[in-house]
Amino acid sequence: MTFSRSKNSVQHQTGYIIKSSWLIPMLDAPLSDKFPESPMWLEEQSVVIRNEEIIDVLASQLAQNKYPELEVIDLEGMAVMPGFINAHTHAAMNLLKGYSDDLSLHVWLETAIWPCEAKFVDDDFVQLGTQLAIAEMLRSGTTCFQDMYFMPDQIAKAVQKCGIRANIGLMVVDSETVWARNADECISKGLAVFDQFKHDEKLSFSFAPHAPYTVSKATLERLNTISFELSMNIHIHLHETIEETSQYLKLNGIRPVEELKEIGLLNPQLNAVHMTELNDQEITWLAESGCHVIHCPQSNMKLASGICPTQKLVDAGVNIAIGSDGSASNNDLDMLAELQSAALLAKVHTGNAEAFPAYQALYSATMGGAKALGLDSNLGSIEIGKQADLIAIDLNQIETTPVYNPVSQIAYAASREQIKHVWVAGKQLLNDRELTSIDSRSLIKKANQWKTKIEGSNK
């Protein structure tokens, strides 16, 4: 790898060329006319960036002749691809990583997480926890994430401070929380946050009703109306476990997905998270409505929640995105590990080694996420006019040598430690594994202070 400038100048350069051994553009149709040379990747290609945008993609031997005024970042042995989009997480819960493990979902929530949140979550907790999560996500190749947590104003401030891109969920529940007294106040305060930050180009917003069992039908109907008026997504936990759907059916005489269909919430603005328990009719409804499913394989495995039928959904035409869930239930925000788990879990779930192949896994972690967030016109693939949200993965390592197929090598062999560089909107936020916008030492020190505080209260 050769840099044609100092590390410091990377942050101020208005234009540059990224030259790599492999380019993985993550197009909708890998065999498109734009990139006929290869179904999934290109070799010895360069991405030309000016300010925040990709302005050209061309053979490396031509790039310097066409753009002689621009300096070159030579990433020999590396694959360049769009940054990962973590389509579902609870970023601030990084401060509860490892706090309570090896419990089923509702026991974990009711006996450990909810009581701890009620006691400790405040503005400082959310701001620091989100920064800690962003640092981990950047070091794992994530350039955009969709969040769902309390104090969305503090999440927005953390995102602005660190330079990443995010869709911030305006969380809604009917009961009293540290954020609001009821659903009405959740909505009112959430809309105020939206108004405060809506002009930031790296921020987008969605309504985030927690789940059908914590948010009433009347509240969901109201959110459906407001979301259409503001062109905002709805981001909700749905069909996370068989126990959840069975109990909901028993109490309401209808399954949650069918209830959302009756309300009108099954539409292209819906991001349905988990979806481990689905029947064929529900999959058909999801496909017909154009809504998106967010698959969180590692969290679902750890909490024994179930397995999302990803291959059935893909076959039906449903867009799949991938999320990590929060660090308290995962216990990391490693999108490489998530997409690897998604590819493997689908195979063992279906008994079909061809299910959810490597390209589909990478696609779900990039373009699939961009589509779910409604950002696919600007993110998710390497194309002229899109934002320069890029990552470089070093495949010139023992663990990933030789490289017959860089897509498979990333999906099945690479680790997050091989992600060397990350750019968001053309600005380099990870440079040779070093964060450029975050003081790691200070962050670790403050996170450990929170650990001492929480631990001390339990003695």
| Cβ atoms within 10 Å, residue 364 | 29
* Comma-separated ranges of CATH 2.30.40.10 domains in the chain: 2-82+386-435
Pairing mode, if any, of strands 42-50 and 53-59?
antiparallel
- Residue burial 27-50, b: 16+ Cβ < 10 Å; e: rest: beebeeeebeebebbbeebbbbbb
Pairwise CA distance, residues 148 & 238, whole Å: 14
Q: Residue 402, preceding bond cis, omega within 30 degrees?
A: yes
Pairwise CA distance, residues 449 & 161, whole Å: 21
User: Tokens in use for 4?
Assistant: 């044609």
- The C-alpha torsion from 135 through 423 and 29 to 407, rounded to 10°, is -60
Pairwise CA distance, residues 270 & 171, whole Å: 15
Pairwise CA distance, residues 272 & 270, whole Å: 6
- Residue burial 120-141, b: 16+ Cβ < 10 Å; e: rest: bbeeebbbbbbbbbbbbbbbbb
User: Tokens in use for 24?
Assistant: 């993985």
pLDDT of residue 2: 38
Per-residue confidence of the chain (459 residues) as pLDDT tens digits? 333 333 333 434 579 999 999 999 998 755 344 444 446 899 999 999 999 999 999 999 999 999 999 999 999 999 999 999 999 999 999 999 999 998 888 898 899 999 999 999 999 999 999 999 999 999 999 999 999 999 999 999 999 999 999 999 999 999 999 999 999 999 999 999 999 999 999 999 999 999 999 999 999 999 999 999 999 999 999 999 999 999 999 999 999 999 999 999 999 999 999 999 999 999 999 999 999 999 999 999 999 999 999 999 999 999 999 999 999 999 999 999 999 999 999 999 999 999 999 999 999 999 999 999 999 999 999 999 999 999 999 999 999 999 999 999 999 999 999 999 999 999 999 999 999 999 999 999 999 999 999 987 765
pLDDT of residue 8: 36
- Is the dihedral angle over the CA atoms 314, 292, 134, 300 positive or is it negative? negative
Q: Bin 143: left if φ > 0, else alpha if -120 < ψ < 50, else beta.
A: alpha
Pairwise CA distance, residues 83 & 424, whole Å: 8
Q: What is the CATH number of domain 2-82+386-435?
A: 2.30.40.10
- What is the architecture, at CATH level 2, of domain 84-372? Alpha-Beta Barrel (3.20)
pLDDT of residue 456: 78
pLDDT of residue 39: 63
Classify residue 71 as exposed, middle or buried by CB count within 10 Å of its CB (0-12, 13-18, 19+). Answer: middle
Classify residue 61 as exposed, middle or buried by CB count within 10 Å of its CB (0-12, 13-18, 19+). Answer: exposed
pLDDT of residue 103: 86
CB 11 within 8 A of CB 428: yes
* C-alpha triplet 25, 290, 332: angle, nearest 5°: 55
Pairwise CA distance, residues 357 & 364, whole Å: 11
* Comma-separated ranges of CATH 3.20.20.140 domains in the chain: 84-372
**Which single residue is written with the structure tokens 């800690």?**
132
| Cβ atoms within 10 Å, residue 293 | 29
CB 31 within 8 A of CB 40: no
